[in-house]
Homo-oligomer: A and B are copies of this chain.
Amino acid sequence: MTRRRQIYEGKAKILYEGPEPGTIIQYFKDDATAFNAQKRGTINGKGVINNRISEYVFTRLSHIGIPTHFIRRLNMREQLVRQVEIVPIEVVVRNVAAGSICTRLGLEEGEPLPHTLIEYCYKDDALGDPLIAEEHIACFGWASNEEMQDIASMAIRVNDFLCGMFAAINIRLVDFKLEFGRIYDGDFSRVILADEISPDGCRLWDMTSGEKLDKDRFRRDLGGEEEAYQEVARRLGLLQNDDS
């Protein structure tokens, strides 16, 4: 393989220049971080599983008409995606209260929310990804009104799809984080789903036992994080044939 240029190394992935212009390669690491990278560790095999789960989810989302950056998986840890200009907003969709919203608004973990809630955070590690409102997004020009409408309606559709998909394997989708990016076509741009969807950015609870099958096992030192990630992949039918 010829030498590839590394574009960016993040907390969980490395981005390399792709084979054609407008493409990049996402390499999934086993590195895990929490609490804005104050806690660091490794979850063995996480990168392989997240690469596979993200492929699975993005492929099926494209089948229901959600535009995504995903092109194809290249190998165990890498996938080819369309390069986008990331919208600097983390889109958090919550069905049940858990994590930061509990302390922020005084809710019990596990409390179902009155209805599905979309939260936006400004993607800036140095600031700790602060919660923002649409007013901030408009004021600082982080995304246009039209983009935010597209993002919100895609986020709701993704939530509906994922709720169904996880329900089918006895998992409750508590919350998850999405990132979107712009692709340009001449003067026009449009927003597509980017980054990844995996147990790193979702809260997934077994519907029967309530057991956590996501990164909270690492965040809260519950142990068994490798097994939890594997369990999600297994239930999705992604561990049977371990072809690359």
Measured CB to CB, the residues of A under 8 A from B are 104-106, 113-115, 117-120, 122, 124, 126-127, 130-136, 139-141
Contact = CB atoms under 8 A, between A and B. Distances in A.
B106 A127 contact: yes
A106 B118 CA distance: 23
Given A104-B127, A117-B139, A133-B134, 8 more contacts: A105-B132, A114-B139, A114-B140, A114-B141, A117-B136, A119-B133, A131-B131, A132-B133
Given A114-B141, A140-B114, A141-B114, A119 B135 contact: yes
A118 B135 CA distance: 7
Contacts of A118: 135
Contacts of A117: 135-136, 139
Contacts of A120: 133
A136 B106 contact: no
Nearest to A137: B133
A135 B134 CA distance: 9
B136 A105 contact: yes
Closest 5 CB pairs of A and B: A133-B133, A117-B139, A104-B130, A118-B135, A106-B127
Contacts of A114: 139-141
Contacts of A139: 113-115, 117
12 contacts: A105-B127, A106-B126, A106-B127, A114-B140, A114-B141, A117-B135, A117-B139, A119-B133, A119-B136, A131-B131, A131-B133, A134-B134
A12 to B, nearest CB: 23
A106 to B, nearest CB: 5
A127 to B, nearest CB: 5
Nearest to A122: B105
